[in-house]
Structure 1
Amino acid sequence: MRKLNVMSLLHPDAHRVYQTEFLPDSRDYTVRSLLGKTSRGCADAGEVLATLASVDPSDHRAWFDAWVALGRRIAAVAAASAAAGHRVSAARAYLRAATYFATAVSAVDGLDGDESPLLPTFHEHRASWEGFVTTTAWPVERVDIPYEGSTMPGWFFRPDTAAGPRRTLVVVNGSDGSLSGLWAEAAEGALERGYNVLLFDGPGQQSMLFERDIPFRPDWGPVLTPVVDFLLARGDVDPDRLASYAISQGGYWLPQALTTEHRFAAAVADGGVVDVGRTWTSHIPHPVLAAYLKGDTAKFDREMNLGFSVPGGKAQRRNWNFRARPYGITGFAATLDQVRKYDLTAAAGHITTPLLVTDCEDEQFFPGQAAELAKLVPTAELITFTAQEGARFHCQPMARELTEQRVFDWLDEQLHP
């Protein structure tokens, strides 16, 4: 059967795709994010575009299946390279495979059927990540960070094997990002600049959600304070040069933690967030939202369910389910009650840590909130990215080299010896 050429079908004016879109829905952002990860080896542009061109954009099952198939193909390449002793090739292939499986994990909510492939697909993603950890040339240690009678899984990377304390970066994930994504967004860039790097799964993130059913929480001091305690007990971490970087909705969690945790010497919110619930309510029709605001939660739930049942509502329901899962709440009104707790407005003024906040043109998830956060935090500095620089949309997905340069130049100046 002749494969559908999606790119030519959607974009006959192909040279303007940056200003228009790769796909006519949220998957356009997925493609941009994948392409942005290529400079760190977490994806390959040809593999991404060839996969995109092979899938009918209206077929969500085919979209999911395509990324699983690509992940498996590249994971097999990685395994063969490892077996033959080609560690560099193996590590790089495992890293790409992990990214492609992570893309499939994010697509699970678009599927029909009662049996979800979420956990098996996540396990394939994590197996590829562990393959990377096993074969990478960067010194790395798997760690367990104490957390409320249990632990959070982490990976402590070092830039080399030299002894002695050095500056260290704690990387905070967003609402649905993967470890391979964090590798591209901050981890390897920090290692190249001589930082130790800690990656970890926090509440509601990755293995903590999928394998342990531990949801998000609005207060992140109780999450990051054990992380800091864990790091400062190590002899290879300089307690005076400890920093943190957070991406996407992590731009809420990290500042929230900084309202009570003051031991970081500097922090970066790559996409500042003040009020998570504002994004949710802004997409609900005013007559429907009015029922919720009046306290008529039964009517609100009925109206929401009805709205998701009309033609075109299926995609919106998929998006709601995807976004709501990590909060661990069922019911439309109950979920909104929980989400609205994620609000920094009253507490942001308590932050004393030097904080860099990034803002971008055409921010689609938390519009205006980065600049708002910078105004609320006395120690904050705001940097803005533009479409002309190739840096439009949430967290500058196709301008990660530019983002890395500005973020780490600022961090280097804050953490100088």
Structure 2
Amino acid sequence: MSWDTIITFMRVSSLSGSAMALAFLQSPTSAKAEEEPILSLSTDSAFHFEVLVSLGEALYGGSDLAPVLGAAKNITPGDFESFSQAFQQLAYKTKDQAQDEEANYDPVNVGETWFSAATYFRRADFYLHNNWTNPLINTLWDEQTKAFDKGLSSLPIPGKRLQIPADNFTVEAIWYEPIPHLYKNQTSKRPTLILGNGYDGAQEDLYHTVVVAALARGWNCLTYEGPGHPTVRRKQNLGFIPDWERVVTPLVDYLLKDRSNVVDKDKLALFGFSFGGYLAARAAAFEPRISAVVLDGGVWDSFEAFSPNLSPELKELFDAGNKEAFDEAGRGLLDNPLVPSQARWGLAQGMWAFNTQSPFNFLQATKKYAVKDFITQIKVPVFVADAESEGFFSGQPQMVKDALGDLATLYTFKGAEGYHCQAGAFSSLNRVMFGWLNKVLPK
């Protein structure tokens, strides 16, 4: 998730490899608890945030509070292997519980337990992408997929996995419908939300972030993953692409053709989470059938989120195209525990998601992800979420709002609700977001 801290190591010096890492004066365990707007969950600020993400999914059936806090107690701050092992233990324990529940089949018990197991498997994978040969990258993902699918099948209207053909790749998606008889005065055609995640998130996470809340309000939902997202990255070996309309347009085609009996074509909203704020904005600029867009948060220019954090020496290397020296500096940090967790993870995840082993190529690729190049082509209402503690795209949501003018509504989440993408405060996110959607979509 963190973009501006991905390469904060580059501020320190122009040294390369481990020598640069040793130039850090602050250990990854030295974050100050009093700086957090809530009770600190780890002395490592990155781990604090990731544990909070796991706790937040409990609201909509994706975890349970005490087990997550129990796992967090066993995590050594700054130790990626420790983080993974703690959540692996919890995931396999919960999987065993889910299998026990199946014997006495109670669909609510089964669904909640399998969904929680899936979340814990995803958490166990989170910090592993610095080593692409690690077999756990696929093993844990296979476990999470199987567990999540068990949860999907237990729903009153089971969620349905889809593979939707696109331009030289396949979009992985999941279709969800609400229970019709629960909603008064609702026609057979309903508002529909297309939801995509960002830099590291899975479409499965979106079920426990927005989808449950949307179904409770009578919406259809289609979550998806395109190139760079977890399942497509694994199955198709594809990294992110900037022209994201190639991903979303086939989804709209599917909805308006295959689901036309339940989809109101005039109430088609697009949601982008984290880096998905760029992806959704790009798609909306080139897909005219979208009725409204939610950017959580607003991403103006990805490269501009990185470049100020380069030291003058490394910026000179980058600008000169000295790929070899730049790559040596970056790779030397991935496994060095003296480098802050957020920087190590962010660089590793960026290289993984963009499908390159080169830090230089990764940073170069981010130049293509800038909404300033096309934002005037967006013609529908846009909700831009900002966060008081936003450290990843600080200041950029306001820039998106300013460029869109009256088309955009900017809302800033503050205090304990003010983490990136409202981690731990998804109920607040959904109340505000759906209130806005109800205002801007046709009655």
State TM-score, norm by structure 2.
0.85
Residue 285 of structure 1 deviates from its aligned partner by: 2.0
Answer yes or no: is 1:211 the counterpart of 2:238: no
Structure 2 counterpart of 1:249: 275
Answer yes or no: is 1:363 the counterpart of 2:390: yes
- Structure 2 vs 1, CA of residues 350 and 120 (structure 1 numbering), >3 Å: closer, same or farther? same
Superposed counterparts of 1:398-417, under 5 Å: 398-417=424-443
Answer yes or no: is 1:57 the counterpart of 2:77: yes
- Structure 2 vs 1, CA of residues 20 and 87 (structure 1 numbering), >3 Å: closer, same or farther? closer
State TM-score, norm by structure 1.
0.90
Measured against aligned partners, the alpha-carbon deviations of 1:351-406 in whole angstroms (never above 9, x if no partner) come to 1011000011021111111111111124111011111xx21221111221111100
Answer yes or no: is 1:391 the counterpart of 2:411: no
Match of 1:267, SS state, is strand
Distance between the aligned counterparts of 2:192 and 2:337, measured in 1?
Answer: 51
Q: Aligned partner of 2:430: which letter?
A: E
Q: Which runs of 5+ in 1 are unaligned?
A: 1-8
Match of 2:368, SS state, is coil
Measured against aligned partners, the alpha-carbon deviations of 1:318-365 in whole angstroms (never above 9, x if no partner) come to 431122211112322222111111111121111101100001102111
Answer yes or no: is 1:141 the counterpart of 2:160: yes
- Structure 2 vs 1, CA of residues 149 and 324 (structure 1 numbering), >3 Å: closer, same or farther? closer
Q: Aligned partner of 1:180: which letter?
A: E
Distance between the aligned counterparts of 1:326 and 1:158, measured in 2?
Answer: 30
- Structure 2 vs 1, CA of residues 309 and 159 (structure 1 numbering), >3 Å: closer, same or farther? closer
Structure 1 counterpart of 2:311: 285
- Whether the 8 Å CA contact 2:190–2:267 is kept in 1: the answer is yes
Q: CA RMSD in A?
A: 2.6
- Whether the 8 Å CA contact 2:269–2:292 is kept in 1: the answer is yes
Structure 1 counterpart of 2:377: 350
Deviates more, 1:152-161 or 1:396-405: 152-161
Q: Aligned partner of 2:386: which letter?
A: D
Structure 2 counterpart of 1:4: none
Q: Aligned partner of 2:172: which letter?
A: P
Measured against aligned partners, the alpha-carbon deviations of 1:2-43 in whole angstroms (never above 9, x if no partner) come to xxxxxxx99998997716562324111101111222211211
Q: Which has the higher contact order (CA 8 A, sep 6+)?
A: 2
Distance between the aligned counterparts of 2:336 and 2:230, measured in 1?
Answer: 32
Structure 2 counterpart of 1:6: none
Distance between the aligned counterparts of 1:11 and 1:300, measured in 2?
Answer: 28
Match of 1:186, SS state, is helix
Q: Aligned partner of 1:355: which letter?
A: V
Structure 2 counterpart of 1:301: 327
Deviates more, 1:192-201 or 1:31-40: 31-40
Q: Which runs of 5+ in 2 are unaligned?
A: 1-28, 182-186
Structure 2 counterpart of 1:123: 142
- Whether the 8 Å CA contact 1:82–1:135 is kept in 2: the answer is no
Superposed counterparts of 1:105-254, under 5 Å: 105-109=125-129, 115-160=134-179, 164-233=188-257, 234=259, 235-254=261-280
Measured against aligned partners, the alpha-carbon deviations of 1:129-187 in whole angstroms (never above 9, x if no partner) come to 10111112234333221212553222111112578321111011112112332012211
Distance between the aligned counterparts of 2:366 and 2:227, measured in 1?
Answer: 15
- Whether the 8 Å CA contact 2:233–2:239 is kept in 1: the answer is yes
- Structure 2 vs 1, CA of residues 114 and 217 (structure 1 numbering), >3 Å: closer, same or farther? closer
Measured against aligned partners, the alpha-carbon deviations of 1:86-125 in whole angstroms (never above 9, x if no partner) come to 11001011111111111111121367x9544100011111
Deviates more, 1:276-285 or 1:353-362: 276-285
Distance between the aligned counterparts of 1:245 and 1:351, measured in 2?
Answer: 14
Match of 2:201, SS state, is coil
Q: Aligned partner of 2:161: which letter?
A: R
Distance between the aligned counterparts of 1:115 and 1:360, measured in 2?
Answer: 35
Distance between the aligned counterparts of 1:371 and 1:175, measured in 2?
Answer: 20
- Structure 2 vs 1, CA of residues 88 and 43 (structure 1 numbering), >3 Å: closer, same or farther? same
**Percent sequence identity over matched residues?**
26
Match of 1:238, SS state, is strand
Match of 2:129, SS state, is helix
- Whether the 8 Å CA contact 2:79–2:337 is kept in 1: the answer is no
- Whether the 8 Å CA contact 1:289–1:300 is kept in 2: the answer is no
